[in-house]
Structure 1
Amino acid sequence: MVVGIARMEFYLPGNGSLKGKRQRVKSLIHRLEARFKKLSVAEVDDQDLWQRAVIGASTVASDQRIADRYLSQVLSFVEELDGLELLSAEIEFLTF
């Protein structure tokens, strides 16, 4: 069993408040969960910064190649979204 974990840091251009950030982050999380059914997603850091968001996403697979392919698709998806700038992304794997 392999757990794949992606940590994505975003810049939210044009955002001026924490309320606006919450709306945009909530929308992003819902879009990811709707598109990728085997993905768990949450905001994991920088909750008090209104122009930055850190999103964590994880999936479980039987093989690391499968988890890597799935998380790579997630990263490709978020890179194409309007209104968000992906600053950095890291993928890690835990094997059991």
Structure 2
Amino acid sequence: MLTTNVAAQDYYAPQNWDITNSFTIESGDRMYITADSKVTLENSARLIVAKGAELIVEAGATVTFDIKSRIDVRGEWLIAQGVTIQSGSGVQFNIY
């Protein structure tokens, strides 16, 4: 379950987050993947960062992609130094 601070429209991903379908970070929202968190995009899951949204990945986080999963970035994707991104074959990064 995601936690939120409604006034700031900031969301924090769970420490161990398995994304199995499409998930969209909407315009005006910020999603933080905090240090020591593990995010896995399974199968053909998509994480979509809408125009005007932000995905912030803090140092020490790990993001793992399955064979056909992807992140579509139309907004901002900020990745700190020290982030591990692992992938299977067929992974796409689409930056708009």
The alignment's TM-score, normalised by the length of structure 2, stands at 0.27
Structure having the larger proportion of residues in strand? 2
The alignment's TM-score, normalised by the length of structure 1, stands at 0.27
Structure having the larger proportion of residues in helix? 1
